[in-house]
């Protein structure tokens, strides 16, 4: 019995099966070609579908500081490019990519290449205008900083993958990149930041300083309303020119700050009840400690009342006062003020203070540390400790997040010592070296600091200074602290060649205070305003 020929239905099933086998064979061949013979180059990274990876950064008033903007990556499918040399030339012009490198990539055996990442809108439009086959745009984003250089040092930047690498971008990275990411409101006030940057740059230029910086802090909450470090850089362009740097001198550099440190020396003496403000202190022409002799930066009278030791910034007088407490008390006091450890905040940049070990902290070290030499701290650490002195004597830590509630912590000095120090700092501005920081009606208190720079041989260089000024206002009930630093300023004709802090840093702080006080709603004292204007 002969077999029955297949039916029409069976023949259709057979044809379909053959076609499926053929299709799967073609897919298998293609997979082998792509994965074995033409693997993707390691530099091709497919982005996340959305492209946007970071939340916004805002100032305390809701003004935008940083935002991710759509900035597509550009890919090319090589099989669709008929004239690779011409394509390399056109794409190089449109995207700014190196033509030679692009030609080498196009001549390779990969199926796809990444031509450029994070195209600007202009570059994107130029590429689209080419109408080139094989072009593909992959979603990505690029961090944009509307204020450019003004916030560069404090806000920092991200890398091309959207990860924070410096500043608050790094310090707040987990908040900005988390799955539930939301805009982060910082403590910064862009009005204050603008004024601080403008005045600091003006002083940097006027006194031809090597570097300069400043910060504004709320002494009750620890909030940093503005922080500037110059030189800076353009966070949008990322190409450094001239003396551009990413180094934040306010948080990363440690300085011997000089006479501003006398704030802590007098606070300690008042806490230990080792000084009366009206008692006379012998100054003379020098003060010998062993084989060392302490001298003054400027001529002093033979005797000064203790309050005038601070007002006139006498090294000799301060040395005698701190020696009454001695090395152990001084070390313990500075430890309590937080000056012997790195300061902590949301800003990742920090530095360890430099100071003598306990076994080498003797009489001469006590004297020199008393007037701000022999110990190096960051300006941010100094500001936090100084704020604790004037705010009623309670510890406050710097923060870059908006924190409107009173954040003062444990009592580090008595309220009575804090009140006396506020009076002394006001006296420095009205009767001492801080006169050029006075602002009519705002009752500024403060202290100047001029420290000689240590040279490469370990010796101080007399004509090179770091000058600073710590200003607090309104001094009777302080709310804000301004601290400014000038690294190696030069005297001018207007200062008769003097580069000391009273001529350089004090007026800088005064300019900043006069502009930010009205913005921050600090009321004018009509009595002192009328007295100083008369």
Task: Look at residue 115 and give its three-state secondary structure.
Answer: strand
Radius of gyration of the chain (CA): 32
Give 486-528 as a DSSP string: EES----TTTTT--STTTTHHHHHHHHHHHHHHHTTPPP-HHH
Asked whether residue 3 is assigned to any structural domain, the reply reads: no
Same domain, 200 and 133: no
**Count of domains for the chain:** 2
Same domain, 114 and 221: no
Provide CB contacts within 8 A for 64, sequence distance 6+. 56, 57, 58, 146
Cα–Cα distance measured from residue 525 to residue 134, given in angstroms and rounded to the nearest whole number:
71
Q: Would you mind telling me the total number of residues written for the chain in this entry?
A: 534
Of the three residues 119, 139, 159, the one that is the final residue of a domain is 139
Q: Which of 389, 338, 379 is nearest to 509 (CA)?
A: 379
pTM score, two decimals?
0.85
Asked whether residue 268 is assigned to any structural domain, the reply reads: yes
Asked whether residue 239 is assigned to any structural domain, the reply reads: yes
Positions in the chain whose pLDDT score sits under 70 = 1-51, 530-534
Segment (H or E) for 68: strand 64-70
Task: Tell me if residue 229 is catalytic.
Answer: no
Cα–Cα distance measured from residue 192 to residue 134, given in angstroms and rounded to the nearest whole number:
50
Angle between helices 415-431 and 379-390 (to 10 degrees): 110
Same domain, 267 and 397: yes
Segment (H or E) for 125: helix 121-128
Same domain, 110 and 239: no
Of the three residues 123, 139, 155, the one that is the final residue of a domain is 139
Segment (H or E) for 229: strand 224-230
Please give the pLDDT value at position 462.
Answer: 77
Burial zone of 304 (CB within 10 Å; 0-12 exposed, 13-18 middle, 19+ buried): buried
Cα–Cα distance measured from residue 302 to residue 112, given in angstroms and rounded to the nearest whole number:
83
Burial zone of 63 (CB within 10 Å; 0-12 exposed, 13-18 middle, 19+ buried): middle
Same domain, 129 and 199: no
Same domain, 207 and 135: no
User: Distances in Å between the alpha carbon of 313 and those of 305, 337, 440, 448, 508?
Assistant: 12, 21, 23, 8, 19
Cα–Cα distance measured from residue 484 to residue 448, given in angstroms and rounded to the nearest whole number:
10
Same domain, 215 and 86: no
Same domain, 205 and 114: no
Please give the pLDDT value at position 49.
Answer: 43
Q: Which of 63, 90, 65 is nearest to 76 (CA)?
A: 90
Residue 250 CB neighbour total at 10 angstroms: 26
pLDDT tens digits for 398-407? Answer: 999 998 889 9
Cα–Cα distance measured from residue 389 to residue 219, given in angstroms and rounded to the nearest whole number:
9
Asked whether residue 153 is assigned to any structural domain, the reply reads: no
Of the three residues 95, 124, 139, the one that is the final residue of a domain is 139
Helix and strand totals (H; E) in the chain: 17, 16
Same domain, 286 and 382: yes
| Alpha carbon of residue 528 to chain centroid | 35
Same domain, 242 and 354: yes
For the CA atoms of 432, 434, 435, 439, the dihedral, rounded to the nearest 10 degrees, stands at -140
Same domain, 316 and 408: yes
Asked whether residue 108 is assigned to any structural domain, the reply reads: yes
Same domain, 303 and 385: yes
Residue 125 belongs to domain with CATH number: 3.90.1310.10
Q: Domain limits at 441?
A: 192-533
Residue 292 belongs to domain with CATH number: 3.40.710.10
Given the residues 141, 187, 229, 259, select the one marked as catalytic.
Answer: 259
User: Strand 135-138 vs strand 73-77: parallel, antiparallel, or unpaired?
Assistant: antiparallel
Cα–Cα distance measured from residue 337 to residue 381, given in angstroms and rounded to the nearest whole number:
10
pLDDT tens digits for 99-124? Answer: 999 988 888 888 899 999 888 889 98
C-alpha atoms less than 13 angstroms from C-alpha of 357 in its C-beta half-sphere: 2
Asked whether residue 383 is assigned to any structural domain, the reply reads: yes
Provide CB contacts within 8 A for 219, sequence distance 6+. 387, 390, 391, 396, 472, 478, 479, 480, 481
Provide CB contacts within 8 A for 495, sequence distance 6+. 503, 504
Within 346-444, where are the H helices? 363-370, 379-390, 415-431
Please give the pLDDT value at position 463.
Answer: 83
Asked whether residue 5 is assigned to any structural domain, the reply reads: no
Please give the pLDDT value at position 39.
Answer: 45
Asked whether residue 163 is assigned to any structural domain, the reply reads: no
């Amino acid at each position: 019995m002969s077999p029955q020929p297949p039916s029409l239905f069976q023949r259709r099933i057979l044809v379909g099966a053959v076609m499926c086998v053929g299709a799967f064979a073609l897919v298998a061949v293609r997979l082998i070609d792509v994965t074995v013979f033409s693997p993707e180059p390691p530099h091709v990274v497919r982005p996340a579908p959305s492209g946007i990876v970071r939340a916004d950064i805002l100032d305390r008033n809701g003004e935008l500081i940083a935002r991710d903007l759509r900035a597509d990556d550009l890919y090319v499918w090589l099989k669709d490019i008929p004239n690779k040399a011409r394509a390399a030339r056109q794409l190089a012009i449109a995207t700014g990519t190196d033509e030679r490198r692009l030609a080498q990539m196009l001549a390779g055996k990969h199926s796809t290449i990444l031509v450029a990442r994070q195209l600007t809108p202009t570059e994107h439009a130029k590429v689209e205008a080419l109408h080139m086959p094989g072009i593909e745009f992959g979603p990505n984003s690029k961090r944009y900083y509307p204020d450019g250089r003004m916030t560069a040092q404090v806000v920092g930047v991200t890398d091309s993958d959207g990860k924070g690498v410096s500043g608050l971008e790094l310090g707040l990275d987990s908040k900005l990149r988390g799955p539930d990411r939301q805009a982060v409101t910082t403590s910064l006030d862009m009005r204050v930041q603008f004024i601080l940057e403008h005045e600091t740059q003006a002083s940097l230029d006027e006194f031809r300083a090597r570097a300069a910086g400043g910060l504004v802090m709320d002494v009750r909450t620890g909030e940093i309303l503005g922080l500037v470090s110059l030189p800076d850089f353009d966070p949008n362009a990322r190409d450094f020119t001239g003396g551009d740097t990413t180094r934040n001198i306010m948080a990363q550099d440690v300085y011997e700050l000089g006479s501003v440190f006398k704030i802590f020396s007098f606070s300690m003496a008042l806490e230990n009840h080792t000084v009366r403000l009206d008692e006379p202190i012998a100054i003379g022409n020098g003060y010998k400690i062993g084989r060392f002799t302490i001298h003054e930066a400027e001529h002093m009278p033979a005797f000064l009342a203790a309050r005038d030791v601070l007002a006139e910034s006498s090294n000799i007088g301060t040395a005698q006062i701190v020696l009454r407490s001695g090395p152990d008390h001084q070390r313990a006091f500075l430890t309590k003020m937080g000056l012997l450890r790195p300061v902590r905040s949301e800003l990742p940049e920090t530095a360890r203070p430099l100071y003598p070990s306990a076994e080498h902290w003797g009489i001469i070290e006590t004297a020199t540390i008393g007037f701000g030499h022999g110990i190096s701290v960051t300006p941010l650490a100094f500001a936090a400790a100084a704020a604790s002195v004037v705010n009623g004597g309670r510890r406050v830590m710097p923060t870059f997040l908006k924190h409107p509630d009173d954040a003062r912590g444990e009592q580090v000095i008595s309220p009575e010592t804090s009140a006396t120090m506020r009076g002394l700092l006001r006296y420095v501005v009205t009767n001492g070296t801080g006169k050029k920081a006075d602002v009519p009606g705002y009752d500024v208190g403060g202290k100047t600091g001029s420290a000689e720079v240590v040279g490469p041989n370990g010796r101080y260089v007399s004509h090179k200074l770091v000058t600073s000024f710590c200003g607090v206002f309104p001094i009777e009930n302080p709310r804000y602290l301004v601290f400014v630093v000038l690294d190696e300023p030069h005297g001018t004709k207007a200062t008769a060649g003097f580069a000391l802090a009273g001529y350089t840093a004090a007026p800088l702080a005064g300019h900043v205070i006069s502009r930010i006080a009205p913005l921050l709603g600090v009321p004018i004292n009509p009595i002192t305003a009328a007295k100083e204007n008369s």
